[in-house]
Amino acid sequence: MQPFFDFLGQFTGGAANAFVIVTSVLKIALILGGVLQVVPFIIVFERKIISWVQDRPGPNRVGPFGLLQGIVDGVKLFFKEEIMPRGVDKGLFLLAPCLVVIPAFLAICIVPVGPIIQGEHLDAYAGFFGLDPGMVGTNGEISHVAMAISNPNIGILYLLAITSVGVYGITIAGWSSNNKWSLIGGIRASAQMISYEITLSLAVIGVVLLAGSLNLYDIIDSQRGGFWHWNVIAQPVAILLFVVAMFAETNRLPFDLAEAEAELTGGFHTEYSSMRFALFFMGEYVNMVIVSAACVTLFLGGFLGPVPLPWDALIEQFGLAAILAFYLVGPMVILPAKIGFFIFLFIFARATLPRLRYDQLMTLGWKYMLPIGIINLIVTACGVAIDMAITQDGQVGWVTKVSIGVVTLAMFLGWELLIFSRNRRAQLAREYRNLFRKESSSDPALAS
Amino acid sequence: MFLLIYSLLFALTVIFALGVLLFENTVKSAVSLIFTMLCIAANYLLMRQEFVAFIQIIVYAGAIMVVFLFVIMLLNLREPERTPWYLRNMRYWAGALAFLFFFVLAWAIQVFAVSDVAPGAAALEELRRESGQAEVTQLATLMVTQYVVPFLLTSVLLLVAVIGAIVMARRKDEDGHEIVLDEEEEDA
């Protein structure tokens, strides 16, 4: 392989640059291609699960068990007529679907799908591909290769920035369609997404505090050592908030007020047809994969397995095969399984929960989730500060993590119980009053 | 290569900024402004200021512009409104002010770039050279040690703004009583 990179290096200013470019292109092709290939199958999966919940067979004509239905649907959308309604704002109408899809794909860039290849392992790979150890290797120009398209220091901020830009596609689609329902859908979407973004950020900050870094690989490293070290133990309330906010951010049921077929005939994408509609559809599913991947990375240890295996001993015994397994089991098995769980959760929620009313949505976001997020953050910050003051090693110990988790969960459950009992009492009072009103209204003379 | 990307990005920034002024449609102007913000963030990225770049996107392109767009859409400003008399010659005043602002900005950049008048930037640069830590860590360290008073004062300012917004948004009926929209609240 070395002559190939030497040849490319003539155009890119050095063989190392060529190596970086080639590996980046490969990573983009693999990760982006993987996600894109999975989308049609998620759609089939969704239709199947919903049909099972509703006790009907679901799609079963195309391919074995109807598995190819998603691809056929895609082809159908591709060949449909593209309708441009009269009175739309042409430029913005065409821009909107792009603004949905581009941020979704941009966000994939930083999801770590596997461990960083470095040290002896990198030497082994370089030897396997016949690369110059001066270029790729422990002492070479390139001393580590991360299994993520990009690994910026401020990974989390990147993710939040991209999700905050993702609102525009839907909002602009709603406005440019020149349709009342679309406009209502677009406005609902933007109000909803800016409200829940705050909760999302608050849930994330707790994890950042525990890891002491914004880098996603650092965050995963802080969860190393088995499932009892995962952030879900320290942040049980935050993951709950994150999951709810993530449903709202992707406009999925029970938060799909922007689409709301029953009242808005499809909301922001009412006027879209053919591939433009397909782009919205695809953007939604890619977004689902991304937020699931983000949740897994932040709270469930990312590509780490549930139990730490003695990899050093295994590599000692089996050599390159074990090294390959060490690097591939994360991206090929563990990460897809964890993401798959969240996708299932998305679908199952859609099959079981009714849509929220708009004021309920806002009440939930601002009066319940935001205060819970702030209190969770304060407790976490106190815990981390106490731990730092005692141990002074710059890392949060396991005992602290568990105690933070227990305290936040206890406070959360206590608060829930309080609200529940208060609501129950209010409901009883209301029923009683209604009873009284009815009796008195039967006699107009008494009522006045 | 770097210069090419840099100049392309710069040209894009200027084009979008011009779009903000030249589009007759307010929504298009706002969208143009969003892209200007994104281009500025990209410029920061090229200068290797990742943190500032993404804060720029989160705060300006993400949060502030959403509210802008939201308000413009609700108002539905399709027809240009009649301008009052004191704004008739706005164009010339604005031109003169923009010219003046340009000079002030150029002067400020000149001053801050060559001297240590900007103490925060200088201190940050020094810290970076000394420790080799991540950008965010240094920024946070400075913010809660050397610049803790300005930092806290800013948060107080924001709090005042939030309270002001709430006070203004509270509607009252003729007798001065608050209008409660939420029925559930009353019952509880």
Is the Cα dihedral A261, A263, A266, A271 positive or negative? positive
Q: What is the pLDDT of residue A4?
A: 77
State percent of chain B over pLDDT 70.
71
ipTM of the complex: 0.79
Q: What is the pLDDT of residue B36?
A: 92
Of the residues B69, B139, B158, B182, the best mutation for testing chain A's interface (the one with the most A CB atoms within 10 Å of its CB) is B69
Q: Which amino acid is at A14?
A: G
Stretch B9-23: mean pLDDT: 89
Task: Verify whether the Cβ–Cβ distance A175 to B58 is below 8 Å.
Answer: no
More confidently predicted of B6 and B116: B6
Cα A313 to Cα A330: distance, rounded to the nearest angstrom: 18
Stretch A121-149: mean pLDDT: 76
C-alpha distances (whole Å) from A354 to each of A6, A55, A199, A236, B80 are 60, 18, 22, 25, 43
Nearest-CA distance A430 → chain B (Å): 7
Question: Is residue A31 domain-resident?
Answer: no
Instruction: Give B118-137 pLDDT, tens digit per residue.
Output: 555 666 666 666 665 566 77
Sorting pLDDT into bands at 50, 70 and 90, what band is B80?
low
Question: Is residue A167 domain-resident?
Answer: yes
Q: Which amino acid is at A235?
A: Q
Instruction: Give A259-290 pLDDT, tens digit per residue.
Output: 777 777 777 878 888 888 888 888 889 999 99
Q: Which of A50-54, A135-139, A300-304 has the lowest mean pLDDT?
A: A135-139
Q: What is the pLDDT of residue B187?
A: 42
Is the Cα dihedral A82, B69, B32, A159 positive or negative? negative
Residue B178: which residues within 8 A CB-CB, separation 6 or more? B170, B171, B172
Tell me how crowded residue A76 is: count the other CB atoms within 10 A of its CB.
Answer: 11
pLDDT at B188 over 50: no
Return mean pLDDT, chain A. 83
Q: What is the pLDDT of residue A329?
A: 81
pTM for this entry: 0.83
pLDDT at B10 over 80: yes
Sorting pLDDT into bands at 50, 70 and 90, what band is B76?
low
- Whether residue A350 contacts residue A251, with contact meaning beta carbons closer than 8 Å, is answered with no
Phi, then psi, of B63 in degrees rounded to 5 = -90, -55
State percent of chain B over pLDDT 90.
15
Instruction: Give A29-65 pLDDT, tens digit per residue.
Output: 888 888 888 888 888 888 889 998 888 888 888 878 8
Number of domains in chain A: 1
Q: In this structure, what token pair is assigned to residue B179?
A: 């209008």
Question: Is residue A397 domain-resident?
Answer: no
Residue A59: cis peptide before it, omega within 30 degrees of 0: no
More confidently predicted of B152 and B140: B152
More confidently predicted of A126 and A192: A192
Question: Is residue A354 domain-resident?
Answer: yes
Task: Verify whether the Cβ–Cβ distance A92 to B58 is below 8 Å.
Answer: no
What one-character DSSP code corresponds to residue A300?
A: S
pLDDT at B186 over 50: no
Task: Verify whether the Cβ–Cβ distance B34 to A430 is below 8 Å.
Answer: no
Residue A177: which residues within 8 A CB-CB, separation 6 or more? A85, A88, A93, A183, A268, A270, A271, A272
Burial class of residue A403 in the structure, from the number of CB atoms within 10 Å of its CB (0-12 exposed, 13-18 middle, 19+ buried): middle
Q: In b/e form, how buried is each residue of B41-77, taking b as 16+ CB within 10 angstroms?
A: bbbbbeeeebbbbbbbbbebbbbebbebbbebbeeee
Cα A136 to Cα A144: distance, rounded to the nearest angstrom: 8
Cα B19 to Cα A325: distance, rounded to the nearest angstrom: 53
Q: Least CA distance to A359: which residue of chain B?
A: B182
Phi, then psi, of A115 in degrees rounded to 5 = -65, 160
Sorting pLDDT into bands at 50, 70 and 90, what band is B115?
low
- In the beta sheet, which residues pair with residue A28? none
Question: Is residue A129 domain-resident?
Answer: no
Instruction: Give A388-417 pLDDT, tens digit per residue.
Output: 888 877 777 888 888 888 888 888 888 888
Q: Is A184 on the interface with B (CB under 8 A)?
A: no
- Whether residue B68 contacts residue B36, with contact meaning beta carbons closer than 8 Å, is answered with no
Q: In this structure, what token pair is assigned to residue A293?
A: 């991947």
Q: Calculate the CA dihedral of residues A426, A432, A433, A439 and round it to 10 degrees.
A: 170
Task: Verify whether the Cβ–Cβ distance A429 to B187 is below 8 Å.
Answer: yes
Q: Least CA distance to B62: which residue of chain A?
A: A164
C-alpha distances (whole Å) from B187 to each of A23, A280, A424, B92 are 63, 42, 12, 58
Q: Is A161 on the interface with B (CB under 8 A)?
A: yes
Residue A403: name the closest of A236, A238, A241, A239 by CA: A236
Instruction: Give A236-266 pLDDT, tens digit per residue.
Output: 999 999 999 999 888 887 888 777 777 777 7
pLDDT at B156 over 90: yes
Q: Which of A36-50, A151-165, A177-191, B105-119 has the lowest mean pLDDT?
A: B105-119
Question: Is residue A418 domain-resident?
Answer: no
Task: Verify whether the Cβ–Cβ distance A213 to B182 is below 8 Å.
Answer: no
Question: Is residue A168 domain-resident?
Answer: yes
Instruction: Give A312-349 pLDDT, tens digit per residue.
Output: 777 778 777 777 788 888 788 888 899 999 999 999 98
Q: Is A81 on the interface with B (CB under 8 A)?
A: no
Q: Tell me which residue range forms the domain holding A281.
A: 80-113+148-382
Task: Verify whether the Cβ–Cβ distance A152 to B50 is below 8 Å.
Answer: yes
Cα A333 to Cα A323: distance, rounded to the nearest angstrom: 15
Question: Is residue A88 domain-resident?
Answer: yes
Residue A358: name the closest of A191, A239, A119, A118 by CA: A191
Cα A280 to Cα A104: distance, rounded to the nearest angstrom: 11
C-alpha distances (whole Å) from A269 to each of A75, A93, A180, A257, A272 are 19, 10, 12, 12, 5
Nearest-CA distance B187 → chain A (Å): 7
List chain A residues with CB under 8 Å of B70: 171, 187, 190-191
pLDDT at A110 over 60: yes
